[in-house]
Amino acid sequence: MKTAVSGTSRRGFLKSTALLAGVPSIGVSLGACGGGDDNDGAMDDQQMFSLTASQAVDSIASGQMTAEAYVRALLSRAQSLSNLGAFITLNADGAIAAAKAIDAKRQAGQPLGALAGLPIVVKDNINTKDLPTTGATPGLAGFRPSANAAVLQPLLDAGAIIIGKANMHELAFGITNTNFAPFAGVARNAYKSTHIPGGSSGGSGAAIGARIVPAGLGSDTGGSVRIPAALNGIAGMRPSVGNGGAERRYSGKGVIPLSHTRDTVGPMGRTVADIALLDAVITGTSRPAPLPLRGLRFGIPTAYWDLVDNEVLAMMEAAKAKLAAAGVVFVQAELPNVRELLEKTGFPIVLHEAGVDLPVYLAESGATGVTVASLAQQAANPEVRSAFQAVVTDAFGPQYPDALNVYRPQMRALYDNYFSSQGIDAIFFPTTPLPAVPIDPIKGTSTVTVNGGAPLDEFETFIRNCDPGSTTGLPGITLPIGLTKDGLPVGMALDGPVGSDQRLLSIGMSAEALFGLLPAPNL
């Protein structure tokens, strides 16, 4: 399979200044790595696997390694870790061809794009014209869209290389990534393969967490970037969606939709600096610098903290202490009635808008003969099938006008006032109430318990903290703060006001420098 990545319309490359201390200083023979420079040593595979996206771009641009050698090493790792189920489609031939083209440009002295040679994983609901876009659902198996998604094209123009299409929870409606469609199958956590990777962008999270790729794209409707990022020990971002119109940071064109007022693609990477790099290229903006933490105000509303696993809570308290020592001021301020408003907005908006937005996507992307009804009928996951039957019948249609025009604006006003009246820069909370839980291979999802309490719905528990900001259209990031005693990652989340994306990334980079990066999983 081939992938169109030859264009590099953005000139020059971004030199990384953050986190370079973590890269070994190595003399690299490009002959040994598939090129032709005259350095003395060779970067081995393990050193390549350890690179962040920013470091990889710099290493290729400087000639420390070739794009081809890097791509071949990562493809080999993807194949050796196929048991993780992180990919639906690998793009071996196309990725190698694109890497060779990048190396040829560098050797010829031609300008390189800002992401030249960077391998990325792309969630399989994001259109790629030279690779299938299946949504992990039988009704779209083998479907090839007519064009790349609008959010993906700038990355390819800047020289990024698609390693493959990532596994995902079927039609992005779930958090386990336990699929029943044979061509998709079960995706597994990078740190513990018996556990869920989160979802719906579970394949992207697992691939990046397992050091198969340094960065990539997911999509987020109610937490689907940040949940798998947290559970796989990486960074993830949900950019501003706001009102779903002019306040939206990324285009949704060419992405299998659930809700045009809630969906967004989001970058995922080993570091916050990496997601800032992808965000800058997608938006055509400058890459933000770390922001001093001293004097920043983080809000702690009870609604985000009243259901948290004890070990997660202890780790969050330790993170809070480190941030406070660095000068962050924590503000105990409430968001009254946020859960009640969320109950009136979440499902009515998503399950009505899916019925409106999916037919438009199918027509624009060239999915001839595919309908919402046929997708629902063929869905392999019983819970996804049931949800999409509600889409077909528009079961939430009567509730939709008030959800969108009454209750959602009330949520937005609540958050806008929260940030402005309290002078809060970001809301601070655990990304998920629990670390990853074991996979249920029979039902695909199960109940969970928090601190030995009553059984709770797994889906509702894991989206609990990410869903309010998603519904309101806020930008949010997650970054890892450590591992539990069982070796499972825990993520810390920050939500900011609509439009504060770059500031949030700047804060995240400073927090990341405080906590450091997680050790690689033992795979």
The answer to whether the bond into 59 is cis (omega within 30° of 0) is no
Is the Cβ–Cβ distance between 281 and 155 less than 8 Å? yes
Whether 123 is a known active-site residue: answer yes
E strands of 156-214, at which residues? 161-166
Tokens 């030199």, residue? 15
pLDDT tens, position by position, for the chain (523 residues)? 333 332 222 222 223 323 322 322 222 222 333 333 434 457 999 999 999 999 999 999 999 999 999 999 999 999 999 999 999 999 999 999 999 999 999 999 999 999 999 999 999 999 999 999 999 999 999 999 999 999 999 999 999 999 999 999 999 999 999 999 999 999 999 999 999 999 999 999 999 999 999 999 999 999 999 999 999 999 999 999 999 999 999 999 999 999 999 999 999 999 999 999 999 999 999 999 999 999 999 999 999 999 999 999 999 999 999 999 999 999 999 999 999 999 999 999 999 999 999 999 999 999 999 999 999 999 999 999 999 999 999 999 999 999 999 999 999 999 999 999 999 999 999 999 999 999 999 999 889 999 999 999 999 999 999 999 999 999 999 999 999 999 999 999 999 999 999 999 999 999 999 999 999 999 9
How far apart CA 165 and CA 216 sit, in angstroms, is 10
pTM as predicted: 0.92
Identified catalytic residue from 16, 59, 200, 506: 200
Bridge-partner residues for 430, per DSSP?
A: 492
Domains in the chain (CATH in brackets) are 26-515 (3.90.1300.10)
Give helix 53-62 / helix 67-80 axis angle, nearest 10°: 140
Going by DSSP bridges, is the β-strand pair 235-238/264-269 parallel, antiparallel, or unpaired? Answer: antiparallel
Q: Can 25 be counted among the known catalytic residues?
A: no
Alpha-helical (H) ranges within 366-482 are: 372-378, 382-392, 400-402, 408-422, 458-463, 467-472
Phi, psi of 148 (to 5 degrees): -70, 150
- The rounded distance, in Å, linking the Cα atoms of 145 and 12 is 30
Burial class (CB in 10 A: 0-12, 13-18, 19+), 466: buried
For residue 359, report the phi and psi dihedrals to the nearest 5 degrees: -60, -35
Nearest alpha-carbon partner for 9 in 281, 196, 265:
281
Q: Determine how β-strand 264-269 pairs with β-strand 215-220.
A: antiparallel
Query: How long is the chain?
Result: 523
Report the pLDDT value the prediction gives residue 33, as an integer from 0 to 100: 37
Cβ contact 449:455 at 8 Å? yes
Look at residue 501 in the predicted model and tell me its pLDDT: 98
| Inter-residue contact 39 to 30 (CB < 8 Å) | yes
Dihedral sign of CA atoms 89, 368, 176, 260 in order: positive
The residue annotated as part of the active site, out of 224, 240, 259, 510, is 224
Where do runs of H (alpha helix) occur along 232-380?
272-283, 310-325, 338-365, 372-378
- Whether residue 200 lies in the annotated active site: yes
Q: For CA atoms 406, 408, 411, 416, give the dihedral sign.
A: negative
Nearest-angstrom CA–CA distance, 2 and 129: 10
Give Dmax (Cα) for the chain: 69
From CA 384, how far away is CA 83, in angstroms rounded? Answer: 24
Q: Which one of the listed residues 50, 59, 105, 123 is annotated catalytic?
A: 123
Six-digit token string for 305 = 């903290």
Backbone angles phi, psi at 330, to 5 degrees: -100, 130
What CA–CA distance (Å, rounded) separates 236 from 257?
20
- Read off the tokens for 299: 């809000």
Rg for the chain, CA atoms, rounded: 21
Rounded CA separation 95/5 (Å): 9
Whose tokens are 């299946």? That residue is 134
Q: Are 288 and 503 in contact (CB under 8 A)?
A: yes
Neighbouring-strand partners of residue 457? 447
Which pLDDT value is given to residue 42? 72
Phi, psi of 294 (to 5 degrees): -60, 125
Q: Which two tokens stand for residue 476?
A: 């949010």
Question: With contact defined as beta carbons under 8 Å apart, do 229 and 203 qualify?
Answer: no
- Rounded Cα distance, 392 and 385, in Å: 10
Q: What is the pLDDT of residue 41?
A: 52
Cα–chain center distance at 346: 20
